Structure 1
Amino acid sequence: MSSDLIKSVDESSFDTEVLKAQVPVLVAFGAIWCGPCKQMEPILEDIAATYEGKAAVVRVDIDESPNTTRKYGIKSVPTHLVFRQGQKAGAQQGVTSKDTLVNLLDPLS
């Protein structure tokens, strides 16, 4: 389930890895016990590989990062947020398609 291209981020690294990133970041909020989150893994890995160097894909475990989860209003998992230049630029809840996430990440695609 773990890809070298998808970094796990927690509350201590969220600012550096997401908010201060030089590229757009797709953040996958999920949990180890979440079946739909596991279902999204191949899509996230594909996006991470396709956008390597142009965007980042990271995951946040809601159980390990409750403050970050609360701060961004995550009510269910999986939830995917896109950040550009430190600002939330898009959101998608639930299992979704690669195209939907790519459109959030790269609106010009």
Structure 2
Amino acid sequence: MESLPLEVVTDATFTDRVLDADVPVVVLYWATWCAPCRQLLPIMEELAGWYRDRVRIVRIDTDAATATPQAQGVHGVPTVQLFRSGAEVARFQGARTKIELTEAIDGLLAGELSA
């Protein structure tokens, strides 16, 4: 499976790239100093390759972009949010396994998660 670098989303681009997206979106809130975030990043990049045409997977650095995490109620990193049609349908805080993330994304695609 080919990994893809995650698109970096900022406070300025969050609405366009996440809330107004025409595909489901997975957002990784992370920070460079966060060890669990650094462990999660390659898993998310692998999943970005796997789901390339079906789901947009992005990351937002909570040290560089502070307004969006605050507005979204994100209080710790890593946090993963799943969105469909601009609405949050699931959220996980803390490190997750590839299996847990895959199950969540599959549920997002199947419409099993709802706001």
Partner of 2:32: 32
2:82 maps to what in 1?
82
Q: Answer whether contact 2:4 2:46 (CA < 8 A) is retained.
A: no
TM-score under structure 1 length normalisation: 0.91
Instruction: State the shift of 1:59 in Å.
Output: 0.3
The answer to whether residue 36 in structure 2 is matched with residue 43 in structure 1 is no
Q: What CA distance in whole angstroms lies between the structure 2 residues aligned with 1:98 and 1:84? A: 20
Do the aligned residues in 2 keep the contact of 1:25 with 1:105 (CA within 8 Å)?
A: no
RMSD between superposed Cα atoms in Å: 1.6
CA contact (8 A) 1:28 1:80 kept: yes
What are the within-5 Å matches in structure 2 for residues 68-79 of structure 1? 68-79=68-79
CA contact (8 A) 2:79 2:93 kept: yes
Question: Where in structure 1 do 4 or more consecutive aligned residues deviate above 3 Å?
Answer: none
Offset at 1:4?
A: 4.7
Return 5+ residue gaps in structure 1 as ranges.
none
* TM-score normalised by L of structure 2: 0.86
Amino acid at match of 2:86: G
The one-letter code matched in structure 2 to 1:83 is F
* Aligned-pair CA distance for 1:105: 2.0
Unpaired stretches in structure 2, ≥5 consecutive residues? none
Structure 1 equivalent of residue 55 of structure 2: 55
